[in-house]
Amino acid sequence: SEAEGSLLKIGVIPGDGVGPEVIEASLAILEKVARQDGIEYTLEHFNLGGERYLATGDVLPQDDLDRLRRCDVILLGAVGHPGVAPGVLEKGILLKLRFDFHQYVNLRPIRLYPGAPTPIRGKGPDDIDMVVVRENNEDLYVGAGGFTYKGTPEEVAIQTSINTRAGVERCIRYAFEAARARASRGPFHGLSDDDKRKGFVRQLTLVAKTNVLTFAHDLWMRAFTETSRDYPDVKCDYQHVDACCMRMVTNPERFDVIVTTNMFGDIITDLGAVLQGGMGLASSGNLNPDKTAPSMFEPVHGSAPDIAGQGIANPLAAILSTAMMLDHVGAGKSAERIRRAVASVLARPTPKTPDLGGKNTTAEVGNAVRDAL
Ligand code: ATP
Ligand code: MG
């Protein structure tokens, strides 16, 4: 295999709720594919999340942060606990790692596998196959702002969206590269004959709200236009975020690669997750493309406290995130084998977890993927 010979150090954060359940299934897949393809790795487990916080008060101690930094990549289940105030774990673990490790791209593929249920009538796997490049280090997520006259009738709460030229541009450049890389699958089928005559092969859509966010998204638009000059093979498209939500439902086949802000990316990828069969199937990578610190791979879903502990969480989102992790470390062929195994399981009537209308368990679905490898 491409990654053969180099010992890969994988940090594992199972986290809360269904996190440990879907991570267990993912590690079984990793174990098999690594054995078959000659990938050598070690696992370093981290006890982080709501249970530890409630028992000790620790969110993300410096020692854990240092040990995580020394890993090549990180696999995360989910953090979030019904007994912990909202934001403590999200800000203290998830956002902290994304920011400290310069994971400035959140890559979220939206792809309908045959056999997965889409709620959109008349649309199939050929229509729903896009990828969202979400900026992951800036915007409303930086925690800038505050209260004035808190608790009074005159109260004002300010939440500032920070957008730096350098931060926006590196994300947009990554998205253009991602669009260009998709040319290996052939031209984007949403291109007109006229587009093809002009030399376009794939398409990148900027999703923003330039008519309202006239400072932040003016910067985004200028960075998009200027960066596009280096990518004459990629057709540039623009959609306001509200229109994008509508079009993702009415005409998902119009999207190839989307680049967007942190907040909008969060929202449109939950919509995207539903288009491609639900939260149980949505995978993601928090990427540091420069590899100056580890990248982190996680299912888009959270800890799902409503189904935790029952052994019925869908493990496929976490398994597909594990495949993205293998892509990142140069084991793309192994990643593709995992995706094919997932596709072959989804194409059959069983096993399926309850979120996909089935009656099977996390372990049964995980075992079926393992057998398909
Ligand atoms: P968190 O606070 O950790 O984000 P949440 O309450 O937002 O948790 P999610 O985990 O995002 O919940 O889940 C939203 C819905 O999707 C829940 O009803 C949950 O049961 C369902 N869900 C999430 N992940 C899965 C999964 N892997 N398999 C099946 N259903 C899932
Ligand atoms: Mg959630």
pLDDT one-digit tens code per residue, 59-92: 999 999 999 999 999 999 999 999 999 999 999 9
Ligand nearest to the CA of 22: 1
Question: pTM for this one?
Answer: 0.96
Catalytic residue among 16, 129, 256, 266: 266
* 195 catalytically annotated: no
368: pLDDT strictly greater than 60: yes
Ligand nearest to the CA of 266: 2
Ligand nearest to the CA of 17: 1
1: pLDDT strictly greater than 80: no
- For ligand 2, the distance from its centroid to the CA atom of residue 301, given in whole angstroms, is 6
ipTM: 0.94
CB-CB contact of 37 with 68 (8 Å): no
Q: Which of 93, 267, 274, 279 to mutate to test the pocket of ligand 1 (most atoms within 8 A of CB)?
A: 279
Strand partners, 207: 239, 260
Measured from the CB, is residue 201 less than 6 Å from ligand 1? no
Query: Which whole number is the average pLDDT over 49-61?
Result: 96
Measured from the CB, is residue 265 less than 6 Å from ligand 1? no
Q: 213: helix, coil or strand?
A: coil
- For ligand 1, the distance from its centroid to the CA atom of residue 77, given in whole angstroms, is 12
Q: How far is CA 290 from the centre of its chain?
A: 18
Measured from the CB, is residue 307 less than 6 Å from ligand 1? yes
- For ligand 2, the distance from its centroid to the CA atom of residue 152, given in whole angstroms, is 30
Q: Report the chain's mean pLDDT, rounded to a whole number.
A: 96
- For ligand 2, the distance from its centroid to the CA atom of residue 350, given in whole angstroms, is 27
Query: Which whole number is the average pLDDT over 154-165?
Result: 98
Measured from the CB, is residue 66 less than 6 Å from ligand 1? no
4: pLDDT strictly greater than 80: no
Nearest Cα residue to 218 out of 226, 234, 242, 160: 226
Q: How confident is the model at residue 3 (pLDDT cuts 50, 70, 90)?
A: very low
* 256 catalytically annotated: no
* pLDDT tens track for 249-303: 999 999 999 999 999 999 999 999 999 999 999 999 999 999 999 999 999 999 9
Measured from the CB, is residue 303 less than 6 Å from ligand 1? yes
Q: At what angle do helices 216-228 and 165-181 cross, to 10 degrees?
A: 40
Q: Which atom of ligand 1 is nearest to the CA of 300?
A: 11
**Pairing between β-strand 8-15 and β-strand 73-78 as defined by DSSP bridges:** parallel
* pLDDT tens track for 107-138: 999 999 999 999 999 999 999 999 999 999 99
Measured from the CB, is residue 18 less than 6 Å from ligand 1? yes
The angle formed by the CA atoms of residues 203, 204 and 205, to the nearest 5 degrees, is 120
Q: 236: helix, coil or strand?
A: strand
* 141 catalytically annotated: yes
What per-residue confidence (pLDDT) applies to 5?
53
- For ligand 2, the distance from its centroid to the CA atom of residue 369, given in whole angstroms, is 26
* 149 catalytically annotated: no
Catalytic residue among 100, 242, 290, 371: 242
* pLDDT tens track for 330-347: 999 999 999 999 999 999
Measured from the CB, is residue 312 less than 6 Å from ligand 1? no
* 266 catalytically annotated: yes
CB-CB contact of 242 with 84 (8 Å): no
* pLDDT tens track for 311-321: 999 999 999 99
* pLDDT tens track for 172-209: 999 999 999 999 999 999 999 999 999 999 999 999 99
- For ligand 2, the distance from its centroid to the CA atom of residue 279, given in whole angstroms, is 10
Q: Which residue has the CA at smallest separation from atom 11 of ligand 1? A: 302
Q: How confident is the model at residue 6 (pLDDT cuts 50, 70, 90)?
A: confident
* pLDDT tens track for 202-222: 999 999 999 999 999 999 999
The 8 Å CB, 24+ separation contacts for 366-369 are 366/24, 366/25, 366/26, 366/28, 366/29, 366/315, 366/319, 367/28, 369/25, 369/29, 369/315, 369/316, 369/319, 369/338, 369/341, 369/342, 369/345
